[in-house]
Amino acid sequence: MKSFNVPVHYRSPLVSAIKQKRKADDKMKRDFTPTELHIGSLQIVLARHFGFCYGVENAIEIAFRAVAENPGKRVFLLSEMIHNPGVNADLIAMGVRFIMDTKGNMLMRWDEITPDDVVIIPAFGTTLEIEEILRTRGIDPARYETTCPFVEKVWNRAGKIGDDGYTIVVHGKPGHEETRATFSHSMAHTPTVVVRDMEQAMLLAKYITGEMVGATFYTDFAGQFSTGFDAAKDLARIGVVNQTTMLASETQGIADYLKQTIVAHYGLSEAQTAERFADTRDTLCYATNDNQGAVQGMLQTDAHMALVIGGYNSSNTSHLAELCELKLPTYYIANEHCLVNEHVVTHYNMHTHAEVVTTGYLPGTRPLRVMITSGASCPDALVDRVIQRLAVLTGNEAALEAETMRWQAIG
């Protein structure tokens, strides 16, 4: 796979050595067992896969190149490059400005953009409507487009099955940048509706079977269907695609449920299923699958707690935290500073959507075993700093230095 020119301060000597060693020993990526670090009285259980994915590294390389290639010019990002506050802060420090926030709210007027400006399309992609606005302002949206190739794969697949006469069901968070972009690209080909979770998929199934009819559809799915969507006829043939950062097992569960609904409602044989349900399982992102699979592998062992590192608005990171908290105390943290001391941690509560403070989070048991993973937009250097912080809090700085040297020797 291609390697990218990512700023060195996002790298980590320890994590790089671990990843190189694991890759050399497992080129086909079939081993999802975690890596265990023995740091004195601290034991780190590190997920097999975590951190920057292909799409994120590609986006960072293009964004930094856009700034370097255009000295003296104004450089804008449509919205956050990726959902990592550190990376976005670095770009802001270089003079990059955001045109809108992550919800699509404008932070400036479109008429402030001139043909001499540079506009970067973030890794999530953007809508066809915004691409057209940029063209009218004299901006080529493809010049510094950092859209993840795996997001584009979803668009292409949706377009293909849409042209074949299927309605697209998008499993995603309706307000997320990627889902908004996928929705736009899909509805250019075919009627499209977004479902946020299994609960909404089950509701959609009732409209497929006719158990529910009429105008209630437009209330139940307000803001989540394309213009002119006709629930009475547009749900007769469907295919499911996803926001690539969703929980892969949930996407597959939704697809399977809707497929079974279609088969039962129309009395289809296995050979007839494709007449009304398109197979789209190949749109699941490899990095999402790998990172979530690695967490499942990590959870096969025991630990006292888990730390999940990433931006609080990162969809893929939140799903890693969801998996971990099913088994053990889990703290979703933005960076090493969240580990205030050995008694206090600040972390994100996904259920209340707020940062909270917890005391007594660090068990006194020794050896202390801590599981660690991070989202696809989290630099390895940040994971390294969290490990360093844990070593300091547990009095294992010297042991961490020795463990780092050991991995650098074998990695």
Q: Which two tokens stand for residue 360?
A: 């007594």
- Contact (Cβ atoms closer than 8 angstroms) between residue 196 and residue 175: no
Strands ordered across the beta sheet of 368-374: 35-39, 42-46, 368-374, 305-309, 330-333, 344-349, 354-359
3-state secondary structure of 164: coil
Cα–Cα distance, 373 to 319 (Å, whole number): 11
Q: 289, exposed or middle or buried, with CB in 10 Å at 0-12, 13-18, 19+?
A: middle
Beta bridge partners of 204: none
Nearest to 317 by CA among 344, 337, 347: 347
- Which of 308, 353, 402 lies closest to 38 in space, CA to CA? 402
Alpha-carbon distances of 8 from 5, 59, 81, 137, 271, rounded to whole Å: 9, 15, 18, 35, 53
**Cβ burial, residue 270 (10 Å; 0-12/13-18/19+):** exposed
Structure tokens at 251: 């996407």
Residue type, 5: N
Task: List, by residue number, the catalytic residues.
Answer: 178
Query: What does the angle CA 198 – CA 281 – CA 56 come to, to the nearest 5 degrees?
Result: 90
Cβ–Cβ under 8 Å, residues 35 and 405: no
Phi, psi of 363 (to 5 degrees): -60, 150
Q: List the Cα angle 56/404/87 in 5-degree steps.
A: 25
SS (H, E, C) 283-310: HCCHHHHHHHHHHHHHCCCCCCEEEEEC
